[in-house]
Amino acid sequence: MSESELVAVLAGNDLYVVPNPMLCTGRTTKRKRCRFNAWPQDCGEWAYIVSRAGILYAIDAGPGFLSEARVQRCDVHTDTPAFCTPEIEPLDPQRHAFLMYPLTDEWRRL
């Protein structure tokens, strides 16, 4: 059951993929997954990265994003038990190829 899309994130020099929205991984007192957003505040603007494989739209979140994304908690659940593991993963050009847009002829001429 996934209602999130995946987005690419540039953190420092490395690319990752996270769900959007990136919900808290904490477990509520009702034993459910927290529905709060766990995206770090003031983090990121859209950027595009052009490569031979195509254009990747990514959120340039800066290196500070990693430490928070690897915990993926909202402010309420920083110390509570986990409902699930954090969902950040390194971008895999093959597995996440659907995030890449092919280069058009206009781009190839540049």
* Among positions 9, 34, 59, 61, the unique one binding Zn ion when judged by CB under 5 A: 34
Which of 8-16, 18-26, 47-55, 96-104 is the region at the interface with Zn ion (rule: CB under 5 A)?
18-26
Q: How far is CA 50 from CA 90, 96, 101, 104, 107, in A?
A: 18, 15, 9, 11, 9
* Among positions 22, 24, 61, 88, the unique one binding Zn ion when judged by CB under 5 A: 24
Closest CB to Zn ion among residues 10, 26: 26
Which of 36-44, 49-57, 64-72, 84-92 is the region at the interface with Zn ion (rule: CB under 5 A)?
36-44
Q: Is 26 in the site for Zn ion (CB under 5 A)?
A: yes
Q: Is the dihedral of CA 92, 95, 100, 103 positive or negative?
A: positive
Which residues sit opposite 10 in a β-bridge? 15, 60
Task: Outline where DSSP puts E strands in the chain.
Answer: 5-11, 14-20, 45-51, 54-60, 89-90, 100-101
Which residues are at the interface with Zn ion (CB under 5 A)? 24, 26, 34, 36, 74, 76-77
